[in-house]
Chains A and B, each alone.
Chain A
Amino acid sequence: MNAGLQIDAQGRLVHLLSTEGLPAEMIRHILDTAAQFVSVNEREVKKVPLLRGKSIFNVFFENSTRTRTTFEIAAKRLSADVINLAIGSSSTAKGETLLDTVWNLQAMDADMFVVRHAEAGAPHLIARHVKPGVHVVNAGDGRHAHPTQGLLDMYTIRHYKKDFSGLAVAIVGDVMHSRVARSQIHALKALGVPEVRVVGPKTLLPREVERLGVRVCHDVAEGLRDCDVVITLRLQNERMSGPLLPSAGEFNKTYGLTPEKLALAKPDAIVMHPGPINRGVEIDSGVADGAHSVIMPQVTFGIAVRMAVMAILAGHA
Chain B
Amino acid sequence: MTAPLPDPERLLEALAQTMKPAVGPDTGLVGIYTGGAWVAERLHRALGLATPLGLLAVTLHRDDFSRIGLHPEARRSQLPFSVEGRDIVLVDDVLHTGRTVRAALNELWDFGRPRRVRLAVLADRGGRELPFAADFAGATVDVEPGEELVLTNEGGRLRLAAVKRPQ
Contact = CB atoms under 8 A, between A and B. Distances in A.
Interface of A: 29, 32-33, 35-36, 39-40, 43-45, 47-50, 311-312, 314-317
B72 A40 contact: no
B167 interface: no
Given A47-B110, A48-B60, A316 B69 contact: yes
A314 B69 CA distance: 8
B106 A49 contact: yes
Contact of B110 (A43, A314, A317): A43
B76 A36 contact: yes
Contacts of A50: 60, 65, 70
B69 A43 contact: no
B73 interface: yes
The 8 closest A-B pairs by CB, nearest first: A315-B69, A32-B72, A45-B110, A48-B60, A39-B76, A315-B70, A33-B72, A316-B69
A29 B72 contact: yes
Counting contact residues on chain B (CB < 8 A from A), the size range is: 10 to 19
Contacts of A43: 110-111
Nearest to B112: A44
B66 interface: yes
Interface in B109-137: 109-112
Contacts of B72: 29, 32-33, 35-36
B61 interface: yes
Contacts, number: 46
Nearest to B63: A49
Given A29-B72, A36-B72, A312-B70, A45 B109 contact: yes
B97 interface: no
A39 B72 CA distance: 13
Interface string B68-91: 111011101100000000000000
Q: Which of A33, A36, A312, A316 is packed against the most chain B CB atoms within 10 Å?
A: A36
A174 to B, nearest CB: 35
A317 B70 contact: no
Given A49-B106, A50-B65, A36 B111 contact: no
A247 B11 CA distance: 77
A52 B68 CA distance: 16
Nearest to A54: B66
A312 B76 CA distance: 18
Nearest to A36: B73
Nearest to B62: A50
Given A47-B110, A315-B68, A315-B70, 11 more contacts: A32-B74, A35-B72, A36-B57, A39-B77, A40-B60, A43-B110, A45-B110, A48-B60, A50-B65, A315-B66, A315-B69
